[in-house]
């Protein structure tokens, strides 16, 4: 998958570029796992929605689906996040990381040391948007320290959750 992406390593010194590819493989792989899970849960939710007794009522299995989604998200995100993962996530269409499959998505890796990397994604789906992931080395493995989002024509970044 990573070889199909538009990746800019120009802000990463040559000595860190192999490590940069390792980081991108790690991050993009995990984001694609989250994306596939979100798509699966969304599809299953659509089936339950059609089985509702009335449009104003929930299906009895919807709560279990939400619980399963929360648990499976935690299983993916907790081991790769420096911060304790306690968040709830939503699902929908488009999925949160669907943009990784868009041909015009640009990914920039900024790495100035072997212990910290910044990955920025630039994409458009309705509106132009950017996301930033700061990764840090934690006991010989990479973990996400922060995630932020913003808009390409602004310098400001807003705190976000994975």
Residue ranges for the chain with pLDDT beneath 70? 1-3
Q: What integer pLDDT is reported at residue 91 of this predicted model?
A: 92
* pLDDT reported for residue 2: 58
Q: Which two tokens stand for residue 79?
A: 């081991």
- How many residues make up the chain in this entry? 162
Dist. CA 112–CA 13, nearest whole Å: 7
Tell me how far CA of residue 115 lies from CA of 28, 34, 58, 82, in angstroms. 18, 24, 47, 13
Radius of gyration of the chain (CA): 18
| Beta carbons of 20 and 120 less than 8 angstroms apart | no
pLDDT at 125: 83
Taking the alpha carbons at both ends of the chain, their separation in whole angstroms is 20
d(CA 34, CA 46) in angstroms, rounded, equals: 18
């Amino acid at each position: 998958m990573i070889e199909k992406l538009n990746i800019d390593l120009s802000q990463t010194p040559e000595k860190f570029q192999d490590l940069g590819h390792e980081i991108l493989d790690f991050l993009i792989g995990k984001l694609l796992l989250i994306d596939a899970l979100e798509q699966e849960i969304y599809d299953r939710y659509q089936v339950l929605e059609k089985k509702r007794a009335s449009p104003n009522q929930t299906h009895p299995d919807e709560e279990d689906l939400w619980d399963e989604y929360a648990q499976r998200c935690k299983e993916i995100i907790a081991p790769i996040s420096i911060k304790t993962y306690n968040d709830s996530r939503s699902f929908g269409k488009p999925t949160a990381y669907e943009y990784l499959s868009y041909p015009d998505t640009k990914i920039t890796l900024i790495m100035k040391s072997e212990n910290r990397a910044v990955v920025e994604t630039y994409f458009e789906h309705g509106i132009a948007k950017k996301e930033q992931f700061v990764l840090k080395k934690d006991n010989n493995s990479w973990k996400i320290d922060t995630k932020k989002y913003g808009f390409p024509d602004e310098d400001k970044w807003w705190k976000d959750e994975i």
